[in-house]
Structure 1
Amino acid sequence: MLVVDDNRVIRQLIRVNLELEGFEVVTAADGAECLDVVHDVCPDVVTLDVVMPRLDGLRTAERLREDPRTRHLPVAIVSACTQYEVESGLAAGVDAFLAKPFEPAELVRIVRQLMQRESPPPIDGRSGAGHAGSAWS
């Protein structure tokens, strides 16, 4: 797990809740740091805040999708989740959204759901239209 948020308290809150459920968590303070460490950490899931200095969460998600090494890495936005953030996040290839303030159990549920589909889904001709791989499906 790679947790990216510029607010130290929120980073720690997310980290503690996930570690209590047995996840190994690494944190980053912004999108630029995320891109610096993502290849060393090789996380199963990345959570991104949207509003961060240097490189925001939406542009970070876009860069993760542009890189063949991280293209299929599940990404969840943990933010205010305004309509703009959700629409821009979907366009950037974000897989799930969790609005702040959030229930820790909901965070854990989304992370578990994303981890279960960490590899690209098989192409069997049965998948319907829509946003394949959405954590909400």
Structure 2
Amino acid sequence: MAGAYPGWVPGAPGRVLVVDDSQVIRQLIKVNLELDGFEVMTASDGAECLEAVHHFRPDVITLDVAMPRLDGLRTVGRLRVDPRTADIPLVLVSASAADGPPGGVDAVLAKPFEPAELVGLVRRLCAEGRQRVVRLAKSPATCRCSSRTLAP
């Protein structure tokens, strides 16, 4: 399964890219996720997120809405149109959170939040993402079989 899910280490909860313009919030989220075993990278706005996402290859991205240069919602739009990032679960962590997630967002967590709630949500989204990848890898419709073999 590790080969089907780049960056995944068996037994590790996953990788999270935390995007927020507040250094205090970034550090709060980072510390809580790291205490639960996640590997965490941070970015201060959507532009930094788009630069980092292809190198870090996160399992989940948390995003603030109001950020300089490129806000959270515009970042969501750019992540969703890129085939390499379209399936990464996205969580809006925002003081301006709406009733439900806007299009392209998997979950919304209102600030202030309970750290345990954030960690549980990220853990669930990582697990669901892995299950989706495993199901796709095992699906006969996505399997391209050939009668010939290729030498390594």
2:64 matches 1:52 = no
Look up the SS of the partner of 1:76 in the other structure: strand
Gap regions ≥5 residues in structure 2: 1-15, 140-152
Q: Deviations over 1:84-104 (max 9, x none)?
A: xx56x522x100111000001
Q: Deviations over 1:47-90 (max 9, x none)?
A: 0000000000011011100000000001000002443xx56x52
Distance in 1 of aligned mates of 2:51 and 2:96: 25
Distance in 1 of aligned mates of 2:68 and 2:92: 16
User: Percent same amino acid at aligned positions?
Assistant: 62
TM-score calculated relative to the size of structure 2: 0.74
Gap regions ≥5 residues in structure 1: 125-137
How many matched pairs?
A: 120
Cα RMSD of the aligned pairs, angstroms, is 1.8
Q: Say if 1:31 and 1:54, in contact at 8 Å, map to a contact too.
A: yes
Q: Find runs of 4+ consecutive structure 1 residues off by over 6 angstroms.
A: none
Look up the SS of the partner of 1:3 in the other structure: strand
TM-score calculated relative to the size of structure 1: 0.81
2:42 matches 1:23 = no
